[in-house]
Structure 1
Amino acid sequence: MASGGDDIEEIQEETGARVTFHDRDTNRDSKDDRTVIIRGSTEAAQKAELMIHQIISDMPKIITEEVEVPGYCLGRLIGRGGESIREMSRVSKCKIFIDRTQDSRATHAPRTITITGPQEQIQLAKTLIEEKVEEEEEFRAMTAVNAANREQRKPLKRRADDGREKISLPSRVVEPEGRWDSGDTLQQIVEASPVKEFMEVFVSAVEHPGHFWLQIINTAALNLDKLVDDMTAFYSNAEIAQEYTVTEVKEGKLVAAPFEHDKSWYRARVLSVAGDKLDLYYLDFGDSGFAPLVDVRELRPEYLSLPEQAIECKLAGVKPAGAEWSEETCDAFESLTHCAEWKVMSARTVGYEPDSAGRQRPCVQLMDNVAEQPVEVAAVLVSRGLAAWEAPPAAASAVTTETVSTDLQPQSDPKPD
């Protein structure tokens, strides 16, 4: 019967019979048989019964197909709070199920999407999925170009606590399974997920494995590259830049500053002032450095709209092998994470710990996917005797069983201090 009871109303109007369901409280998406009660004259009841049989015979066959997509596309396919997958389900009128029970450490590994509905609607759902995958591939191509154009600078030692073919996805028809009857909505499942998926990141700065900075590879990362280009073009013009000379400075002030290892300009916060020398923290990369007062400029208001891109993190599950992190360990960690080389790593938040200032710092699992088998950075440090496990490694590397599905009938900035 059509959503909203349109078919029932049409039958009643045309036949004069009254049509109701005996088990009206049963879930309309249930596969169990339901009892239809027809009241009226013999002729009206027989005509109504024939119309019901005709509607059932005209219903399209419901089938299930599976498609595979690269794991790094899941974020775009699911969307913020499940918005994208719900919209694709609504438009295609199909039930879409994303299998997240597979080991998600390899972001390039294929992930299975299961689609249930009429064949014609499944084809529409596949088209919508292909469009999302193509969007992600285009975004990744742009990110790769920008990363290649970034300066590969030597990481500073940190101071403590300061034109492709159109995509076509192969698919296969599968036998229906009982998993469709769980009844969980997408929002319920997402909110219940205890651990996030792996995301792609750059490691931009390192003090030691217990204190380093990540940049998440997303649209904001592209905006950051454009921001740096715009700032560099603006402040490199000597005449214009003179109008933005900094005359007064205090701790916490946001400024535009060059970085000693390249010629670009960046957003920075003043950590301390010693005469005419400033101790700076670069908001979007996590680096610290010194600069003379005469070399920094006032930060234009339009350069404040993009949120800070550097995220302070701790490597999950490990602690120093000795009393503190050794220089050898820090060097190995920088090498394993390709620090400031703008090579893609995979990261997943597994918990939070307070830092020395009481702020909650993400504890992340880091993976390098350069090889066929992903390499876990923490495990390598432990195997070399450069770190020790805080807990059994299985606790840090456990793969969470998660599902994301939709119902077959879906419900109709930084500030200056």
Structure 2
Amino acid sequence: MASLQIECPKLTESEHPTKPASGELYTVFYDKDRSWYRVVVAGVVSADMVSVYFCDYGDLAVFPADALRPVPSRTPLARTLPPQAIKARLFDIKPLHKDWTVEDCLRFQELCVEQQFVGVCKKVERDPLNPTEPLLTLELIDTSTDDDIYLNKLLVAEGRARLEFAP
């Protein structure tokens, strides 16, 4: 990150890619915190907009295609370092419907943000959306109280999820 903050401001606007493609690694300047980040193009939204995945943090965003810059050649580690964000899913549950609702996502965020968990990795697979990346299946356990709280079981009990392999 430190080398990106030094080298990326030296890049010119003319260095943006002319036809960014899904899966390609670039850098982008994020105005909200005034920092440069590594991103992978997740998809081309239109001729002038792209969806990007912040590969070291796990966030998605949409940017103008001309906001993308190449990873500077003077930052070899930034070119070769594997993504630091690893996709994961909760063990043994699925959303009640086709996908998680906004309310379900907010509840999960409420349960997880700024919390510490014991994580038990149950399985490592290939991400179906990007087969070159891993997808972890985790059991997250809140051990901050006398009784351990398994997040997957809590979401089922709250009616937000169903067991993946119901008996």
Coarse TM-score class (shorter-chain normalised): 0.7 to 0.9
What is the identity, as a one-letter code, of the residue corresponding to 1:256?
Answer: T
- AA at the equivalent of 1:231: L
Aligned to 1:365: 139
Q: Give RMSD over aligned pairs.
A: 2.8
What is the aligned counterpart of 1:326 among 78, 94, 101?
A: 101
Whether 2:158 is the aligned partner of 1:384: answer yes
> Against the structure 1 CA distance between its residues 353 and 256, is the aligned structure 2 distance closer, same or farther, given a 3 Å change threshold?
closer
Deviations 1:344-386 (A, max 9, x none): 4332211245654584632111123443544221122112111
Superposition map of 1:251-266 within 5 A: 251=21, 252-259=23-30, 261-266=32-37
Q: Distance in 1 between matches of 2:93 and 2:154?
A: 11
TM-score of the aligned structures, taking structure 2 as reference length: 0.77
SS at match of 2:162: strand
Contiguous gaps of at least 5 residues in structure 1 = 1-227, 393-417
CA deviations over 1:137-171 (Å, ceiling 9, x no partner): xxxxxxxxxxxxxxxxxxxxxxxxxxxxxxxxxxx
**1:294 counterpart SS class:** helix
Q: Which residue of 2 aligns with 1:313?
A: 88
Matching residue's letter, 1:253: E
Matches within 5 A, 1:33-112: none
Contact 2:20 2:65 in 1 (8 A): no
Q: Which has the higher strand share?
A: 2
Which of 234, 237, 248 is matched with 2:18 structurally?
Answer: 248
Q: Please name the residue that 2:71 is paired with.
A: 299
C-alpha distance in 2 between matches for 1:317 and 1:272: 29
Deviation at 1:243, TM superposition (A): 7.8
Provide the C-alpha distance between the structure 2 equivalents of 1:283 and 1:355, rounded to a whole number of angstroms.
14
Structure with the greater alpha carbon radius of gyration: 1
Q: Identity across aligned pairs (percent)?
A: 25
Q: How many residues align?
A: 159
**Does the 8 Å contact 1:315/1:366 carry over to 2?**
yes
Correspondence for 2:2 = 229
Tell me which amino acid in the other structure corresponds to 1:246. H
TM-score (norm 1): 0.34
Q: How does 1:345-356 map to 2 (within 5 A)?
A: 345-352=117-124, 355-356=127-128
Check whether the contact 2:123–2:136 (CA below 8 A) recurs between aligned residues: yes
Q: Specify the code of the residue in structure 2 equivalent to 1:275.
A: A
Does the CA-based 8 Å contact 2:17-2:69 persist in structure 1? no
Q: 1:280 to 1:323 in 2, by over 3 A?
A: closer
Runs of 5+ unmatched residues, structure 2: none
Q: How far apart are the structure 2 equivalents of 1:260 and 1:345? A: 32
CA distance in 1, matches of 2:150, 2:118: 9
Q: Is the 8 A contact 1:337 1:377 kept in 2?
A: no
Letter in 2 for 1:308: P
Deviation at 1:264, TM superposition (A): 1.8
How far off its partner does 1:304 sit? 1.7
Aligned counterpart, 1:6: none
